[in-house]
Structure 1
Amino acid sequence: MNKPVSHLRNLGPKTEYMLSEVDVCSEDDLRELGSVQAYQRLKFRFGRGVSILALYAMEACLRDCDWRDLSTEDKKELKAKAELAS
């Protein structure tokens, strides 16, 4: 089932709004794009208004876990991928 962003774990109304502004409106949109590219779109559009926690929340959403359950290694890897892509 293709859930709207509003029904996804870890993502609140502000993130939902920002994602909609970069054409990510559903779980399928987020999965297709991936958390790192979605984060890059948010950073490009909103700049400093987007923290690294948005990346962790989107990745955890795709894994269906709480963002705080991502390992330190997972977070380091995600951050490195995001920095390479910028």
Structure 2
Amino acid sequence: MKAKNIGKTIEKKLNEVGVFTLADLAEITPKVAYKKICENYPNTTIPKCYYLYSLQGALLDLDWRELPENIKSELLEK
């Protein structure tokens, strides 16, 4: 998957939960993808600021650090 914020590590973890394209990610939402990744790695801390924001940023074609604060807040509330 060629997208901002999606390197080999995140791509591998996304593939493990059935996400292979940006369309797949949009369909299940970054929140659900993040939760599934966390479920696959129960003994590992998966940082929200990197994974959750990176997934949303990939859909918006933005670097995760450039996500507007309101979007970050919405992601954390869900």
Equivalent in 26, 45, 48 of residue 21 of structure 2: 26
Equivalent position to 1:44, from 29, 39, 46:
39
Q: Is there any run of 5+ residues in structure 2 with no aligned partner, and where?
A: none
| CA distance in 1: counterparts of 2:11 and 2:39, whole angstroms | 16
Instruction: Give the alignment's TM-score, normalised by structure 2.
Output: 0.88
* Count of matched residue positions in the alignment of Structure 1 and Structure 2: 76
Matched residue SS, 1:10: coil
Higher helix share: 1
- How far off is 1:38 after superposition? 0.7
Once residues 3 and 61 of structure 2 are traced to their aligned partners in structure 1, the CA distance between those partners, rounded to angstroms, is: 9
Q: CA deviation at 1:76?
A: 2.0
Query: How much has 1:72 moved relative to structure 2?
Result: 2.4
Cα RMSD, aligned residues only = 1.2
Structure 1 unaligned residues grouped into runs of 5+: 82-86
In 1, the alpha carbon distance for the partners of 2:27 and 2:15 equals 15
Deviation at 1:73, TM superposition (A): 2.6
TM-score, length-normalised on structure 1?
A: 0.80
Question: Given the alignment of the two structures, is residue 68 of structure 1 paired with residue 65 of structure 2, yes or no?
Answer: yes
C-alpha separation between the residues in 2 aligned to 1:23 and 1:32?
Answer: 11
Which amino acid in 2 is paired with 1:37? V
